[in-house]
Each structure stands twice: as C-alpha cells, then as structure tokens.
Structure 1
Amino acid sequence: MSKRFRHVALVGKHQARGIRPILEEIADFVTDLGLDVSLERETAENTGITDFEGLTNEELGAQCDLAIVVGGDGTMLGFARDMARQGLPLVGINQGRLGFITDISIEHYREALAPMLAGDYEMEQRAMLEGSVLRDGESIFEGLALNDVVVSRGATAAMVELRVDVGDEFVANLRADGVIIASPTGSTAYALSAGGPILHPSIAGWLLVPIASHALSNRPIVLPDHGEVRLQIVAGRDASVNFDMQSLASLLHGDLITVRRSAHQIRFLHPKGWSYYATLRRKLRWYEGVS
C-alpha cells in the first residue's frame, strides 16, 4: 500500500459544457470517502461552484496532497506545468476519448478512484523541459514544458533556418517549417504527427524532430537529456517558439533558444495494473487480439 491522502485539489476544464455537475459529483464522492476537497480558484469561479473552497495554485500546493484533473490532456498539461514546483501528484480523469496522461474514463472514475485515494495506486515520474530565449545575450523569455518546445516559421513566411547545437557540438543547419524538441511524454504529441518515434517515459532522452524539412536526410534523432540543446534563428521572418502552450512570437535573426532538462518532475498516479503499453494500444488503436 502507498500513501493515503487527506486533502484533494479538484481542477476542471471549466469551458466544457456540462462540467459543473460532473465536478460536483466527483467532489461529493471524494468527501464521502472522508477526504477534504478544494477547487482550483479559476475552476470554482467559472463554474459557479461555491460549496467547496476555491484556492490559488500556490495554496493548493501548500494545503493539498493530491490533485484530480478532469478534462483532457490539454487541461492536464497546463495544470501540471503550473504545479511542477509544488510537487503535487496528479490523477487525470478524461471526459472524452482516452488520453495519454488523463487515463481514467469518466464512466469508471468511482471504481478507479476509491482504491487510489486509499493508497492503492501505481506512480510514475515524468521529466520536464525548461529553457529560455536569449537576444543579444539577455533572456527575454523563459518557459517550462511537459510535452515539447517547438520553434516554427511565421504564418505567412517561408521556411525558417536554424543552427542546432547539442552541448558543445554543432549538429546541423536545418531549413524546415520548424523543429520540435520533445520529452518522452511529448513523443506521442506533435512529434509523433511530424514523424518522430515514441519514447517510453522511463527513457532519459529527448527527441529532435524537424517539421517538413527541406532536406530529406534531416531525420528525427534521439538525444541524451543531460546536455543543453540550442536552436539559433539563422533566417526566416516572424518565427515563434512554444513551450507547450506558452508562446513567444516574432523571433529575430540571432535569437537563441536554449532547452535543457528541468529540475522539476511531474508525478502521475494511475490505477493498479496500469500499463503504458496498454494506453498506446487503446489510444493508437493498435491490434490487441491474438488469433
């Protein structure tokens, strides 16, 4: 048995239609099991739920010992990044299709959550990326990402040209629509649609994936995660960089994007018997049966 919990933070995709009764039902279920519940303040304010205290993320990190996130992978990404420094373990309940990191279906949350809240669960830790944008040696932007850091061309411009360095070594000059630096978690997101491989979350590595490269020989490469990756804008107008959902547009020639492993990790909790491979089978619709 693992740790039992006492105070749960509840977070929801408050823009979703019909989310309020779902959140109230989950909150009542958790309190019936003898735990305290607080809502993330923005969730409480936008749903109008007043039966439970609304707290800031900092207050949730200080007072709660578990967070339940109701929504999809996008909702989880945003909250996980905001809570990375708090060290709060996260459980994901998916309202729609099964997500990669929100893996409990809304239809089965009761039978999944009850043993987990009593301390019977699987835990895994996911690495994060962090980095900055340097202009003339000064940092003008800093970001944290669970999925990926993406440098891409402007909306109306031609390709962007990037110089890529890993550690102290020059790797390549790439002309492409952009470049993705993805964590193992992000390997099943944008990087996958751009032709990158899937990395198991336990692998200590990053993906570097060109987006629609001009040269067919520019292929995705798996990098060690203990060095710094540097992407410098050589050519191309109005390029942008995204750290998950944090964006900086209108990069200039000479701007340098640095990416490295963050000191923070995300802790995800799953029901007993959870399998990463089973998640891939369901999400990617891989053949499951045997003849």
Structure 2
Amino acid sequence: MPTRFRHAALVGKYQALGMRGVLQDIAQFLGRQGLEVSLEAETAHNTGMTDYPALTPEQLGQRCDLAVVVGGDGTMLGIARQLARFNLPLVGINQGRLGFITDLPIDQFEEALAPMIAGDYEEERRTMLEGGVWRDGRMIFEGIAMNDVVVSRGATASMVQLKIDIGDEFVANHRADGLIVGSPTGSTAYALSAGGPILHPGIAGWVLVPIAPHDLSNRPIVLPDIGEICIEIVAGRDASVSFDMQSLASLLHGDRIIVRRSAHQVRFLHPRGWSYYATLRGKLHWNAGL
C-alpha cells in the first residue's frame, strides 16, 4: 500500500525565467506538508537557492523517497535517467509546453500534490533503452535513453545507409536521413513527428522509424522489446547517434549501434484519476471541435 513520503528531492529547469521563485514556492509548500527538502545540486547552484541541502543525483537517489521535477519533458528526461536505478518515484510539474510526462499544471500543484504526498496517487512504470557504439570490437560510447536512440546523417552530408539486425536476424537496409528507435514514451516525441505510431506505455515494445527514407516502402514497425537491435553504418559521412541528449558525432563506416531494453524502469506518480488517454486528448487536441 502507498505510504506517506518523507524526503523530497526538488529538481528544476533552472534556465527558465522566474524559476527561482517557483521553486521556492514549491519547496516551502513541501516543507509545510512535513517533508524534508533537498535540491538537486545544479538546480541549487544556478538559482542561488541556499536554504536547502544541495545534493548530487546519486545522493538524492540514496536519501530521498520522492522527486518533484519542475519544468518540461526535457528536464524530466534528464533527471529520470539518473534516478531510475534508485527506484525513486517522480512527479512532474509542468513549466514547459507539451508536458506529456510532466503533467501537473503549475497553477494547481498544491491541490494535486497534497494527497499524493499523503500516499493517494496512481503509479506507472516506463521502460528505457540502453546500449552503445562498437568500433573494431570495443565499445567507444554508451548511453541510456528514456525517449529514443536516433542515428542521423551529417548536417551537410547526403543520406546514410544503415544495416539493421534484430537479434541474429538481418532485417533491412535503409537509405534515409536517419533512424529512430523509440520507447513507448518516445513514441510521442521525435518518432511521432517522423510518422511513427503512438505506443501505449503498457506495451512491451519499441518503434523503429526511418527518417525521410529513400524507399517509401521503408515504413515504421513496432517490435517487441526483447533481444537487441544492431544498426550498422554502411555508408554516409558525419553520421551521429544520440541517446536522448547524449550524443556521439562522426561515426565511421562499420560502427555498430547496439540498443536493448534497460534493466531499470522509471516510476511516475500521477494524481488519482489520471488517464493516459486524457493526456493524449489534451496534448494532441483530439477533442478539438467537440
């Protein structure tokens, strides 16, 4: 059964105008609810807030039992990857634009957070991707992603040619501007704008979405999230790979990007009555004209 939280980590999009005042309001509210509050170190440093302990993400994961993230989905992605291995639940307060995974409106955070702190909430878990880049038999880069792994052509170069294997089986050659391997969470991000399908977060799958493919028959495909996906650079200059916001540029021919399901999951908490479909309706304007 859910229990009351005791120690909250507070993480904010410190670049946003007026964020210090917002974070102070939220920290004071959490304190009035009886929680000990610690700030993520970069948030504390860049806002100049000194009234609360400033801890690294690792320290937050070890000492806190709840993380409150204030900003947009990018802020949530950045901290969620770091806290997932500690099994720390996260609540998102939306100070951005779309807010698929930071779903509490900033002007309603008090009435939404108060019952959640007391243990009245709904929880969901999201899978992540992990992997790396292999060159000449050794790993030269590794990363973890909550949204997607994206292989892209160079900024001034023509398209790349990619060879895709899933497990031990050859699947396809793609000539395209790039390729997206997206999690269910990432299916509403870059993969969606590239024409991919939306995956419900309860589905144990990935989307594989070519970006502007040369052959129009190269279509998005939904895959089970078992085994490994191997993407080999066959041709093209200055290709790069990105695991969410972690990038490696100047991939060489023969480099292999290996992607698999991460052993860790992200825990999200939502107010009672939260609905994934309601989120889609609101963010994608599916109820327009009604």
- Taking structure 2 as the reference length, the TM-score comes to 0.98
Alignment of 1:122-141 (within 5 A): 122-141=122-141
2:114 maps to 1:118: no
Provide the residue aligned with 1:271 in structure 2.
Answer: 271
Structure 2: distance between partners of 1:35 and 1:218: 52
Structure 1: distance between partners of 2:83 and 2:122: 20
Deviation at 1:98, TM superposition (A): 4.4
Larger deviation, residues 106-115 vs 93-102: 93-102
Structure 1: distance between partners of 2:143 and 2:63: 26
Structure 2: distance between partners of 1:101 and 1:74: 9
2:158 maps to 1:158: yes
Structure 2: distance between partners of 1:90 and 1:215: 41
| RMSD, matched Cα | 1.0
Alignment of 1:113-262 (within 5 A): 113-262=113-262
Q: Is the 8 A contact 2:58 2:82 kept in 1?
A: no
Provide the residue aligned with 2:283 in structure 1.
Answer: 283
Deviation at 1:4, TM superposition (A): 1.1
Provide the residue aligned with 2:52 in structure 1.
Answer: 52
Secondary structure in 2 aligned to 1:197?
coil
Structure 1: distance between partners of 2:62 and 2:168: 40
TM superposition outliers: structure 1 runs of 4+ over 4 Å = none
Deviation at 1:223, TM superposition (A): 0.6
Deviation at 1:97, TM superposition (A): 3.1
Change beyond 3 A, Cα 1:241–1:98: closer
Q: Is the 8 A contact 1:161 1:173 kept in 2?
A: yes
Alignment of 1:32-71 (within 5 A): 32-71=32-71
Q: Is the 8 A contact 1:150 1:181 kept in 2?
A: yes
Deviation at 1:33, TM superposition (A): 0.7
Deviation at 1:90, TM superposition (A): 0.3
Deviation at 1:23, TM superposition (A): 0.3
Structure 2: distance between partners of 1:288 and 1:191: 23
How many pairs are equivalent?
Answer: 290
Structure 2: runs of 5 or more not aligned: none
Structure 1: distance between partners of 2:97 and 2:144: 26
- Taking structure 1 as the reference length, the TM-score comes to 0.98
Deviation at 1:86, TM superposition (A): 1.6
After superposition, what is the alpha-carbon deviation per residue over 1:28-81, rounded to whole angstroms, capped at 9, x for unaligned? 001001110000011001100011111111111111000000000000000101
Deviation at 1:277, TM superposition (A): 0.2
* Partner amino acid, structure 1, of 2:5: F
Structure 2: distance between partners of 1:61 and 1:280: 30
Secondary structure in 2 aligned to 1:91?
strand
Structure 2: distance between partners of 1:264 and 1:96: 26
Structure 1: distance between partners of 2:264 and 2:83: 10
After superposition, what is the alpha-carbon deviation per residue over 1:77-128, rounded to whole angstroms, capped at 9, x for unaligned? 0010111212111000001334100000101000100000000000000000
* Partner amino acid, structure 2, of 1:64: C
Q: Is the 8 A contact 2:73 2:96 kept in 1?
A: no
Secondary structure in 1 aligned to 2:273?
coil
Structure 2: distance between partners of 1:13 and 1:250: 30
* Partner amino acid, structure 2, of 1:142: E
Secondary structure in 2 aligned to 1:186?
helix
Structure 2: distance between partners of 1:96 and 1:211: 26
Deviation at 1:289, TM superposition (A): 7.5
Q: Is the 8 A contact 1:98 1:105 kept in 2?
A: no
